[in-house]
Amino acid sequence: MDSNKKLGLIGKNISYSFSKKFFEDKFQKLMLKDFTYDIFDLNEINEVENLLADPQLLGFNVTIPYKEKIIDYLDNLSDEAEKIGAVNCVLIRDGKKTGYNTDAFGFEKTLLLHKKNHQDKALILGNGGAAKAVKYVMDKHGIPSITISRNSEINFENIDAETVRDHKIIIQCTPVGTFPNVEDCLKFPFEGITPEHLIIDLIYNPNYTQFIIKASEKGAKTVNGYYMLEQQAEKAWEIWNFQKK
């Protein structure tokens, strides 16, 4: 009998992936020969049904654009995943599929590492799964935040420099500027950014998005998504391996 334990990542157009290399390196380091980590590129979320039918699948990560859509295919949600309304990690045990949100864990670690006391109000750019995890962390720490999206009251068309100046934490949660479209940048009043600001862009590829470059030109402290990604992956590994049966 083949005892192969399968893990992987579901998403759309995910030719590049931090997760595959991260976990393959981990398997090698821990000398785990029976683990594999694959990329499952799905055109539509319902294609996940074929994947879920595989008895060797132990779990998987979820990325754009399926962090919310995957919920319909799961049996249970962790408290965080339920409150956030988005899942980026799924554990399959005894046929039961449980959704977790390790983005919140990764983002919280990033935020607490860099946040200064005067940075007490946040702007969250975007309203997808990652933005929801960010909002959850802000609420947990009592940091007032405004979510800016295409259709929100304050949106990318009408946000002004004064609002930006007034919110010293800005988290860029949209995929705009991700490889290969590295020249793209959100429309944003960068003139409102000051050296008092903390700017976190959740994108990790490229290291420096146009958004980060423009913010750092204003003297802001800038951080990309790499540490968050690493932390959420470590947390996923913990969930897949150490959940009590």
Q: Do 86 and 170 sit in the same domain of this protein?
A: no
Q: Do 26 and 136 sit in the same domain of this protein?
A: no
Q: Do 165 and 87 sit in the same domain of this protein?
A: no
237 found inside a domain: no
73 found inside a domain: yes
Q: Do 157 and 214 sit in the same domain of this protein?
A: yes
Q: Do 109 and 175 sit in the same domain of this protein?
A: yes
Q: Pick from 38, 68, 101: which residue ends a domain? A: 101
239 found inside a domain: no
Q: Do 48 and 149 sit in the same domain of this protein?
A: no
Q: Do 198 and 83 sit in the same domain of this protein?
A: no
Entry pTM: 0.93
Which member of 67, 115, 135, 168 is catalytic?
Answer: 67
Which of 97, 90, 63 has the alpha carbon at shortest distance from 229? 63
Q: Do 93 and 109 sit in the same domain of this protein?
A: no
232 found inside a domain: no
Q: What is the CATH number of the domain that holds 207?
A: 3.40.50.720
Q: Do 156 and 87 sit in the same domain of this protein?
A: no
Q: Do 149 and 62 sit in the same domain of this protein?
A: no
140 found inside a domain: yes
Q: Pick from 85, 101, 117: which residue ends a domain? A: 101
Burial of 46 (0-12, 13-18, 19+ CB in 10 A): exposed
Catalytic status, residue 12? no
Q: What is the CATH number of the domain that holds 78?
A: 3.40.50.10860
Q: In the chain, how many domains are there?
A: 2
234 found inside a domain: no
Q: Which domain holds residue 20?
A: 5-101
Per-residue pLDDT of the chain (245 residues; tens, 9 = 90+): 457 899 999 999 887 778 999 999 999 999 999 999 999 999 999 999 999 999 999 999 999 899 999 999 999 999 999 999 999 999 999 999 999 999 999 999 999 999 999 999 999 999 999 999 999 999 999 999 999 999 999 999 999 999 999 999 999 999 999 999 999 999 999 999 999 999 999 999 999 999 999 999 999 999 999 999 999 999 999 999 975 44
Q: Pick from 101, 118, 146: which residue ends a domain? A: 101
131 found inside a domain: yes
